[in-house]
Structure 1
Amino acid sequence: MDELPNWASPEIDWRQPSVARIYDYALGGAHNFEADRQAQDEALKVFPYLNDAARANRGFLHRAVRFCLDQGIRQFLDLGSGVPTVGNVHEVAQEVDPESHVVYVDHDLVAVAHARTILANNPRAVVLHEDIRAPHQILTHPETLQLIDFEQPVAVLMVGMLHYVDDSAEPMKLLREYQDCMTPGSYLIASHLTSDLPEMRSAAPFFDDSRNPMTLRSKTEIEALLADYELVDPGVVFTVQWRPETPPPANPERSACYAAVARRG
């Protein structure tokens, strides 16, 4: 039986898999429990590249954040940020410009508890315990408004998050609500697990018992979600194909996620 470490809230149900903790486990992190490890290990039996996909997704996040920094962006709203591990948005952004501001948002108590610990001495980064499906709560939150000026360009991140927003939650409407707060020149950074791969379709049911079952979508469906934005070249591609710093692998589809950076015109 797992014992709750000192960074974990006693409210955590460690017996139910958590998306944030599963992702942490896939990245080689230590902030996860047996239920999370079992769910991921079972999924690996039908899609053995899931851990590679997680690392490819994190690599995309790093490149996309640096791209936005190159465009002059200095404030970031990271929705569904998960358990912070090495290479968080604030680490990438503040290495380039220590004045960069970051607001993390997650509804997983493990993610929030750990983030609050590591951000305790960072006045330019904060974490909110909120659900991304309630944008008004996030966009009007006093801590958000303390760090983010929505009259200036902002980067909104939904990295590995939209596939946890099912169709009943109207993901297109949700994206528009966030877009409405973004001044022209802002950017959306997004990645989304795809239904185009048979292996991914086979792996998805292993996460149905978690707090956030997946809704996989095709490349066409993902492009439709981003229709209101101006896609940055190369458009919607697998994560390893988005402006890679080294030649992408011969099987980019094993990254399992489509990714895009899109500009608010």
Structure 2
Amino acid sequence: MRIDLNSDLGEGHGRWELGDDEALLAIVTSANVACGFHAGDPTVLRRTTRRAAERGVAVGAHVGYRDLTGFGRRFMDVPPAELTDEVVYQIGALAAFTSLAGERVRYVKPHGALYSAIVHHTAQAAAVVEAVTAYDPGLAVLGLPGSEFLRLAEEAGLRTRREAFADRAYTPEGTLVPRREPGAVLHDPGTIAERCLRIVRGEPVEAADGTEIVIEADSLCVHGDSPGAVETAAAVAERLRAEGVALEAFTD
């Protein structure tokens, strides 16, 4: 068995620091790096891509709505053509710094409200797919299993990879419980690690209402901005390796 372990990194901005990127880069196999729209600035992007390259961690463009104030977690009714251009812009910005580090962007993962919207919002999902296809059809895309985004990406010939969230609660339909609801974010590293092992094995896990669901995944995400993110990522990695699961970037 093998699985990718990813985290959202590069989310500081100016004097505002968020998460322990250095520690997480020693654990994860893929880094979803903010591209300046929901978080990140040029200095943060350059530092994060350099350290990822030094660690051998795959870099993905973590694209989102132009929403620094809301950290990209508010839905925005962006016209599809405009959204396509904004996603291309973000990939290009991250690619410049990744190239300076001697590496390249290997995949695209939408962030926050955009990620949630394109589970069902066909027009915005198509806009993101169009952006990736126009920029580099060789890029992989990472998204929620069963989403419009992955369906359209597959139809467009992009390499699609399914993502499960280590530290988020799920609805019975396999979507994420909104962050505003109680219990949406999980915190106990041991419980999270055990759930991740079940996901990798294809075993059912408990949804928010107590029902059991099966989540198919090529990559597991630990949110870098969550309290205890480093401890959680370390617990997941240790538990998986102890059970013979290899941690490898899904783009390898």
Using the size of structure 1 for normalisation, the TM-score is: 0.36
Greater helix share, structure number: 1
